[in-house]
Amino acid sequence: MVGDRRRGLIDALLQFFSEEYMPHGHCYLWRPDILWTHVVSDSVIAIAYFSIPLGLVYLKKKRSDIQFSWLLVLFSSFILLCGLTHVYSIYNIWVGSYGGQGVLKAITALASIGTAFALIHVLPKVATIPTTEELAEARESASQETIRRIQLEAAHREEAHLREATNASPVGLLVSDERGNITLANNALAELFGYDASELNGQSINMLIDAETSQHHGKLVGQFLESEETSRVMASGRVVSGVRKDGAKIPVDIRLAKRESEGEVRIFAAVTDLSEKLAAQEEIREANMRFERITKATQEGLWEWNIETNTMWWSTVAWQLLGYNETSSHASMDQWLTHLRSDFRHSINAALQDHLQRGLPFDEECVVTTLSGEERWIHIFGNSVYDKSGQPIVMSGAMQDIQLRKDMELVLREKSQFLESIFQGTSYSVFVLDADKQGTLRYSAFNNAVEQLTGIAAAECLGKTPLDLAPDYVPEKTAQEIQSRYNLCYMSKRPSSYVETIEFKGRVTWWKTALFPLLDNENRVYRIIGSSTDITDLKHAEQKLTERESFLKNVVDLSISGLYIFNLKTNVNTFINNQYTRITGYTLEDLRSKSDLMQYFHSEEQQLIIDHIERVIVSREGEVQELEYRFKHKNGRWIWCRSFDAVFSRDEEGKPIEMIGTFIDVTSIKEYARRLEKSNEELERFVYVASHDLQEPLRKVIAFSSHLESNIKREQLSDEDWFVLGRIVDGASRMRDLITDMLRLSHVTKAELKLEEVELENMVESTRDMLAAEILETHASVELRYSQKVYVDRALFIQLLQNLVGNALKYRRPEVRPRVVIEVIDYIDESGEVFDQVVISDNGLGFDNSQASDIFRPFKRLVTRATHPGSGIGLAICEQIVKAHRGNITAEGRPNVGARIYINLPKKNITLDTQASV
């Protein structure tokens, strides 16, 4: 019986600890993901549990003084057993030993209960252990007497160390008593204020503060001493002005602290030189202002998009491009996309995504709808900044208003279609020559009429020069002549028209050809447009009419103004032109009806007329005689005439038969000369008074007031007195400038002209050089659209250009880049006289056109001196210079659009007095 019971117990134990149970992995269905999750987790937990006991054992060995060390052993055993249970769990995944795992967990449970009861048992004892603060207080109390002795012994050493430490500090340090007397100053402070450290000991701290602020500084220090504060930043938000030994002022930052030692209050001050910091702040401020000016001045709207926050920054121009009058700090990409016209939103979004995801360039043109509903074309482009992972974080760029360019492209397309229809539809032969970099001209296009008129296929000539067409189509000599005319047009850069003979396959033809050069931005000819018409039949007809038309040709060639042919035998006019009648009022019948023509001449000039005719009679072939005289108009008034007469025909013996003459009406010129002569006399008297009676006392006023201003100290005068002194100097200087301008005006009126043909381009370049500083400052452009030689006094005309261009730069519009355009054209006035007309246009403030006649009056100003300083004589000088050239100057303007000045100058063949009489 006993044996059976023992055997049953052994069997039960063997079965309890049997490893033939189903492994735990079957519960997981042997899924690797679940199985290994448990294996790895239990392994990590076991390693952590094993490391904790090792750490506690290590701590016990290092700190043998720790009380209740046996409690650490209990905790280590409990945690170690916890780790073993997790290891056994891993083992049971593959081997079903659940009895052993149960025994291990039971042992762990006993260890955990024992540890918990032990901890509860010792908690009251642990609570009675003194804290570190209590231990520190006990130690401090025990060693207080020792510390006092040590402090007394170290006081002197500490003071020495303090001085060494403060002297080693790069920050200026000082210590003062409550009365403000310095007791200690380090080397950095002494060097900052230019003193030796010993010089500051015992001195008042006020000697280091600017006198204007020292009283206020003293009040602040007094308030600080009375307050409970222990530290304070003096002059918070502003800069304290310190005074060096040499009197120079320096900006400083002062930080105060106060301590009470042995019943005496000490003030500790740290003083920092702010010169470099303020200079850096000024540089940053200037850089910010410069950036703001640039963003306002540029025509591009700048933008930046924070991709992470979806917020945007737009410059002022960007807001304006979208129609906003005021800028805002709140903007987003979504807001910008709403301004896109609907048919552009998909393409712009796609371009943005391509840029952000694939790094493709973002450069698009699209239509936006402004706040007012207006649709405009813009050009938008930008680039991004990426983080380390390659993700875009910020995108920056700009947008431009290209509506004008798009409008021009549309106009150009329409014009191209229009010109193409003309090009192919005209009966004239039209051809195009393109110039390469070496200046070689080659045919690049022909219209249909070329082949029809010449019989040469256009395709055979494309890409060839005229020389390449010889001798198959034209003789070499003809090809050389054609090439020479093309080259002349290319070199002169001017349109040309000529008649030429061309032999096509043995047939001589006549052509009327016109060449028009096209210039690029660098003023180089890149293309020539030519047209030709076959005038062979017309030339044949002209040859038959040459003799019959020779008389008419001579008359036309000589009829510049009023023209007449006078028979010296019969004393009768045989021919007059229409200009003769317009000037005098008489027709040919009127003159022939009078038997005595001398009655039309003023009695004082009748003898001059007789002598003049005698000189014409005895003159040589081609010699011209000139005369000024008064002639009675048909309406009874007298007109002054200037005539140029010569022998027109002679008899077989060489004696004159007819006299031909031309004349012009100079009555108005005579009247102007009389008025201007009187004006000159008055002006000369005025200039004499200005230069002798005004300048001498004015020099003394300027000299004495400038001496006072430069030698007197600013603090010696009140603000009002200093302002008055400045007004005296400024007013006297303006008066001096005014007198100087008046003297210049007088000099111009009496200047002796040195007339010569001068290329306008050269004088414009000189003007640019003289105004280089103003052009650079205002970012202006001074353009010459077309140039030719003009007959002027070079020095005076450069002065004229300098005054007019300088005025255009001075009276510019804010926020608009000044642009001055100069050109010269041929101009014919109402009387038929030909002038060189120089036109100067600008985009400045402009003026009301009703004031156009007033702007050339001396001292006439259309704006205040406060905004645009000046004497008011500049344009009067310009008018006198033009009058000295016997020309005229006018102006027209529009407010806030610009002004245009017209200068009419006589051609070289018009005789001018070299002494200006204006």
- Which of these ranges, 108-122, 611-625, 725-739, has the smallest mean pLDDT? 725-739
Q: Which residue(s) pair with 894 in the sheet? A: 898
Check residue 866 and give its pLDDT: 45
pLDDT higher than threshold 70 for residue 292: no
3-state secondary structure of 860: coil
Going from N- to C-terminal start, the domains of the chain cover: 2-127, 169-273, 302-407, 429-542, 559-665, 685-906
The two domains 429-542 and 559-665 share their CATH topology (first three levels equal): yes
pLDDT band at 714 (very low <50, low <70, confident <90, very high): low
The beta-strand segments (E) located in 683-805 are: 755-759, 781-786, 789-793
pLDDT band at 770 (very low <50, low <70, confident <90, very high): confident
Q: Are the C-beta atoms of residues 819 and 842 closer than 8 Å to each other?
A: yes
pLDDT higher than threshold 80 for residue 590: yes
The residue among 449 and 792 whose pLDDT is bigger is: 792
CB neighbour class for 671 (10 Å; exposed up to 12, middle 13-18, buried from 19):
exposed
CA atoms within 13 A on the CB side of 158: 6
Mean pLDDT of 188-196: 80
Q: Taken in order 202, 203, 204, 205, is the CA torsion positive or negative?
A: negative
Mean pLDDT of 501-522: 85
pLDDT band at 228 (very low <50, low <70, confident <90, very high): low
pLDDT per position as a tens digit, 646-656: 998 888 888 99
pLDDT per position as a tens digit, 420-434: 776 666 767 888 999
Nearest C-alpha neighbor of 793 from the set 754, 747, 751: 754
Nearest C-alpha neighbor of 645 from the set 712, 582, 558, 519: 558
Check residue 915 and give its pLDDT: 40
Mean pLDDT of 565-572: 89
What does CATH list as the number for 559-665? Answer: 3.30.450.20
pTM over 0.95: no
Report residue 515 CA to chain centroid gap: 39
| Average pLDDT across the chain, whole number | 78
The residue among 432 and 14 whose pLDDT is bigger is: 432
Check residue 140 and give its pLDDT: 60
pLDDT higher than threshold 80 for residue 471: yes
The residue among 468 and 115 whose pLDDT is bigger is: 468
- Looking up tokens 């010449």 gives 454
Residue 342 is classified by DSSP as H
Mean pLDDT of 499-513: 82
Q: Are the C-beta atoms of residues 536 and 528 closer than 8 Å to each other?
A: no
CA distance 319 to 325: 7
| Residue 872 dihedral angles phi and psi, to the nearest 5° | 85, 15
CB neighbour class for 596 (10 Å; exposed up to 12, middle 13-18, buried from 19):
exposed
The residue among 877 and 544 whose pLDDT is bigger is: 877
Pick the most confident of 123-132, 141-150, 604-613, 679-688.
Answer: 604-613
Q: Are the C-beta atoms of residues 336 and 348 closer than 8 Å to each other?
A: no
Give me the amino acid identity at 45.
I
CA distance 458 to 480: 20
Check residue 912 and give its pLDDT: 45
- Which of these ranges, 62-66, 495-499, 536-540, 755-759, has the smallest mean pLDDT? 62-66
Q: Which residue(s) pair with 899 in the sheet? A: 893
pLDDT band at 745 (very low <50, low <70, confident <90, very high): low
Helix axis angle for 760-770 and 794-810, nearest 10°, is: 50
Mean pLDDT of 440-449: 87
What distance, in Å, lies between the first and last C-alpha atoms of the chain?
A: 160
Q: Taken in order 579, 584, 588, 589, is the CA torsion positive or negative?
A: positive
Check residue 693 and give its pLDDT: 60
Tokens of 802: 């300098």
Mean pLDDT of 196-212: 77
Give me the amino acid identity at 615.
R
pLDDT per position as a tens digit, 751-769: 567 888 999 999 999 888 8
pLDDT band at 709 (very low <50, low <70, confident <90, very high): low
- Looking up tokens 């400083």 gives 252
- Which of these ranges, 45-54, 405-414, 803-812, has the smallest mean pLDDT? 45-54
CA distance 819 to 811: 12
CB neighbour class for 178 (10 Å; exposed up to 12, middle 13-18, buried from 19):
middle
Check residue 489 and give its pLDDT: 92
Give the β-pairing of 231-233 and 249-261: antiparallel
Q: Which residue(s) pair with 241 in the sheet? A: 251
Mean pLDDT of 44-54: 79
| Residue 98 dihedral angles phi and psi, to the nearest 5° | -80, -25
Does CATH place domain 685-906 in 3.30.1370.60?
A: no
Check residue 248 and give its pLDDT: 83
Does CATH place domain 302-407 in 3.20.20.70?
A: no
Percent share of the chain, pLDDT over 70: 75
- Looking up tokens 């008389």 gives 551
CA distance 489 to 496: 7
Mean pLDDT of 894-898: 89
3-state secondary structure of 298: coil
What does CATH list as the number for 429-542? Answer: 3.30.450.20
User: Quick count: other Cβ atoms within 10 Å of Cβ 485?
Assistant: 17
The beta-strand segments (E) located in 237-306 are: 240-243, 249-261, 264-273, 300-306
Q: Are the C-beta atoms of residues 500 and 513 closer than 8 Å to each other?
A: yes
pLDDT band at 290 (very low <50, low <70, confident <90, very high): low
SS (H, E, C) 632-665: ECCCCCEEEEEEEEEEEEECCCCCEEEEEEEEEE
pLDDT higher than threshold 60 for residue 156: no
pLDDT band at 131 (very low <50, low <70, confident <90, very high): low
- Looking up tokens 């009056």 gives 857
- Which of these ranges, 509-513, 738-742, 809-813, has the smallest mean pLDDT? 738-742
pLDDT band at 518 (very low <50, low <70, confident <90, very high): very high
Check residue 117 and give its pLDDT: 74
Check residue 558 and give its pLDDT: 53
Tokens of 157: 């050493």
Mean pLDDT of 366-383: 90
Mean pLDDT of 882-889: 87
pLDDT band at 293 (very low <50, low <70, confident <90, very high): low
pLDDT per position as a tens digit, 79-98: 877 878 878 788 777 877 77
Check residue 916 and give its pLDDT: 40
Reply yes or no: is the peptide bond before residue 32 cis, omega within 30 of 0: no
CA distance 174 to 607: 109
The residue among 821 and 99 whose pLDDT is bigger is: 821
- Which of these ranges, 194-208, 714-728, 796-810, has the smallest mean pLDDT? 714-728
Check residue 748 and give its pLDDT: 57
Residue 914: CB partners within 8 Å, gap ≥ 6?
752, 753, 754, 755
pLDDT band at 838 (very low <50, low <70, confident <90, very high): very high
CA distance 709 to 703: 10
Mean pLDDT of 150-177: 64
CA distance 75 to 590: 147
Tokens of 99: 């009895």
Mean pLDDT of 777-781: 90
Does CATH place domain 169-273 in 3.20.130.10?
A: no
- Which of these ranges, 176-180, 377-381, 568-572, has the smallest mean pLDDT? 176-180
3-state secondary structure of 811: coil
Check residue 265 and give its pLDDT: 74
The residue among 105 and 356 whose pLDDT is bigger is: 356
Tokens of 618: 């005895």
Mean pLDDT of 538-556: 65
Helix (H) or strand (E) holding 132: helix 132-168
CA distance 905 to 911: 12
CB neighbour class for 550 (10 Å; exposed up to 12, middle 13-18, buried from 19):
exposed
pLDDT band at 607 (very low <50, low <70, confident <90, very high): very high
pLDDT higher than threshold 60 for residue 413: yes
